[in-house]
Amino acid sequence: MNLRGILVLLGDDAPSAAREHLASRLAVAHQAHLTGIAPTGRPDIEGTASAAHAIEVADHARDDAWQHAGHLARRFREAARAEGVVSVDAEAAEGAALPLLMHHAACHDLVVVSPPPAASPGWRSGVHFVEQVLAHNPRPTLVVPGAGRFEQAGRNVVVAWDDSPAAVRATTDALPVLRQAERVLLCVWRRASEAADNGIAMRLAEVCRWLERHGVTADTRVTRAAGAIGDTMLSDAAKLGADLIVMGTYGHSRWIERVTGGVTRTALLHAPMPLWMSR
């Protein structure tokens, strides 16, 4: 697999500049085509006095939304070209963000989104939107944190490995990035209460041989987590200087993740670096 098409959600929310910038940097690094989608959203016409007035309000709202989305698309094209992206598209599209992204995702290799900054207005709905993207995206998702600016993602990569199909899928999807990385660390986190697994070193060595056949050299690391695995993973990745975590999503059902605060949800809410996520 090569990274030939990147799709990014455009907007004027707080993290939009960071995710658009990082999407452009990745497009340059991989000589990929870059597409930006600026949804118009759905007009809010509640509280209007009559049907005729509601139609008038909806028409004005629709016109304003199209103008705003068109402005976002033009701004993105100009910024991407200024960053050196050779092949770039951007379009205003009528409708809500989620169905529009999923419609275009099949024809791209990566979808780039962001949760809002913690404690910001609309935080819950923004996190829910990213969760919905992760649940329905047929392609890998790059989740750019809601706070911060990232000049690269993929120079120093931590791969969160747990032998699950999702981890295999995420690692396979990320091969184009892993090939360009300066360092790849294949990491396993085990609970302190778990029994010893004498075969884990052999399995990791086999994964490393598979990666090597794809042009990726990886080191391995097995850690006993005294606390929650998600928290330990993020803490270790930060200490290791990782600028990207590659991981599968939802090792348990999404309902269980919500109740227990699973690894996926912990990473989504608290990761200080971008996440490459596949299910």
The predicted structure's pLDDT at residue 53? 56
Q: Would 149 be classed as within a structural domain?
A: no
For residue 240, give the CATH number of its domain.
Answer: 3.40.50.620
Q: Would 108 be classed as within a structural domain?
A: yes
In the listed set 143, 171, 204, which residue is the last one of a domain according to the structure? 143
On the question of pLDDT at 50 being above 80, the answer is no
Q: Would 10 be classed as within a structural domain?
A: yes
Q: Would 151 be classed as within a structural domain?
A: no
What is the enclosing helix (H) or strand (E) of 109? none
CB neighbour list of residue 255: distance below 8 Å, 6 or more residues apart: none
Q: Would 150 be classed as within a structural domain?
A: no
Alpha-carbon dihedral of residues 143, 214, 29, 169, nearest 10 degrees?
Answer: -20
Q: Would 76 be classed as within a structural domain?
A: yes
Q: For a pLDDT cut of 90, what percent of the chain falls above it? A: 65
Average pLDDT value for the chain: 88
CA 188, chain centre distance (Å): 21
**Average confidence (pLDDT) over 107-116:** 95
Condensed to tens digits (0 to 9), the pLDDT of residues 117-151 reads: 887 888 888 889 999 999 999 999 999 998 888 88
Q: Are residues 164 and 65 in the same domain?
A: no
DSSP annotation of 195 reads P
**Higher-pLDDT residue of 255, 175:** 175
**Higher-pLDDT residue of 14, 74:** 74
Q: Are residues 132 and 161 in the same domain?
A: no
Which domain range does residue 182 map to?
156-278
Total domains in the chain come to: 2
Query: Which pTM does this prediction carry?
Result: 0.90
